[in-house]
A = this chain, B = another copy of it.
Amino acid sequence: MDNPDQYRPLTPAELGSRLSTVPAIAGRIGADPARWNVREVGDGNLNLVFIVEGPEGTVIVKQALPYVRLVGDSWPLPLYRAFYENHALVRQAERDPGAVPAVYHFDETQALIVMEFLSPHKILRRKLIDGERVADLGAFLGRFCARTAFRGSELSMKSADKKKDVGLFSGNVEIPAITEALVFTDPYYSAEMNHHTDGLDPVVAGLRGDAKLKARVQRLLMKFASNTETMVHGDLHSGSIMSTDSESKVIDPEFVQYGPMGFDLGMLVANFLMAYFSQPAHRAPTELAGYQDWILSVIDDVLTGFDTEFRHLWATERTGMLYPAALFEDQGQSSEEACLALLADIRADALGFCGIEMHRRTLSLAHNADFEDIQDAALKSRLEARNLAMGAELILMSEALGSAEKLLDLARRYNAKDIL
């Protein structure tokens, strides 16, 4: 018999009988589970995801699994991450209304979230591989990063509230540990779960032989692991974004944690750069330059959008204890230079994180479809080598690459360069 106090993974066949009494579902799609159409669509590694379609509407049911799917049940993962994901979605919705799917219901025991079904949205990574454009994409994402970074920090929040929240999230240990290992450490030595494309060995050896590069990566790991500036999404790549041709939403914040303000921004830009470098394998020659230019324009919009929104919030919502008006505006002094200096620090951190993400997606356990979908191994390694080389330059030179223009120039240069 069912014990409702005990976690049990859902199956499509059982879902109706187990969830038909949840008002948030029944009220939205219709109360008779016999008329529900249930499909399991999870392509992630950590969760079951069901589309539940009823006569009156459709919802998503997402349930955490107690292990990493990709490697079977040998890698256990705590169910409590659904608890943090729910908290993250609620906070993100407050900080950037409309940017994330609405949560209808949360069941802590079942590690289960019922949320808004996004349609006709498609995972952004797939759209980028398919050469589709999304209007307003970069501006939306830059704004999302700025709003969540600023409004989740002590620039905006009361310190007591923010510190209480840090305490709440400090229980989340295993999930950050995945990022700490897979993103920051594994790429730089021959870790067990690593794999990379044949032909990249000389480039990989170069990275692993560069003690200065690894020292800078570890310094950024230290910031990631012990800097609670704001609540970050924690896994903001193009697979965590769903878009139509004109609207985007950010999903899947189960890697949420307190972290550095530049973290999400850096991960995001890295994933656009990987989309950019992989394009020669996905586009016809006639479309290539135009689409690559569009991707670069998205990166430009992300960075510019972040700065613009951050400066706007700085001017209008600086209600926390940091950089108080008492020290600046109330004394007839501008705080604009202070804001720009902070933005420069955030940008430098972000570009460092960006370079690391570019490395780990080519060398560590979890790779990107942008490159993985490339059948021609020689072409794949040639494009990945560009990605790796630019990543290294970002890590080593992050403070010197302040302007978006410098970053885009660098991308263009590596895109024209044969590393191998």
Contact = CB atoms under 8 A, between A and B. Distances in A.
Interface in A144-203: 153-154, 159-160, 163-164, 166-167, 170-171, 173, 176-177, 180-181, 185, 188-189, 191
Per assembly, the copies of the chain total: 2
B173 A170 contact: no
Contacts of A216: 341
A323 B226 contact: no
A185 B341 contact: no
B170 A164 contact: yes
Nearest to A223: B227
A211 interface: yes
Interface residues of A, number: 53
Contact of A322 (B167, B218, B326): B218
A113 to B, nearest CB: 23
A118 interface: no
Interface string A215-253: 110110110011111000000000000000000000000
Contacts of A3: none
A302 to B, nearest CB: 23
Interface stretch (A7-15, A63-71, A328-336, A368-376): A328-336
Contacts of A225: 154, 159, 321-322
A400 interface: no
Nearest to A170: B167
A166 B258 CA distance: 12
A229 B222 contact: yes
Contacts of A327: 185, 188-189, 214, 218
B229 A228 contact: no
A338 interface: yes
Nearest to A172: B163
A22 to B, nearest CB: 31
A212 interface: yes
Interface in A83-119: none
A337 B222 contact: no
B322 A221 contact: yes
Contacts of A218: 322-323, 327, 338
Contacts of A331: 189, 208-209
A379 interface: no
Contact of A228 (B160, B208, B228): B228
Contacts of A222: 154, 229, 322, 342
A393 interface: no
Contacts of A337: 211-212, 215
B333 A209 contact: yes
A345 interface: yes
A272 to B, nearest CB: 28
A188, A222, A330, A331: most-surrounded residue (chain B CB, <10 A): A222
Nearest to A153: B226
B160 A173 contact: yes
B170 A323 contact: no
Nearest to A174: B160
A194 to B, nearest CB: 12
A321 B180 contact: yes
Nearest to A160: B173
B228 A326 contact: no
A164 B167 CA distance: 9
Contacts of A181: 321
A215 B173 contact: no
9 contacts: A153-B226, A154-B225, A181-B321, A185-B321, A185-B326, A188-B327, A211-B334, A218-B323, A225-B321
Closest 4 CB pairs of A and B: A167-B170, A215-B338, A218-B323, A226-B228
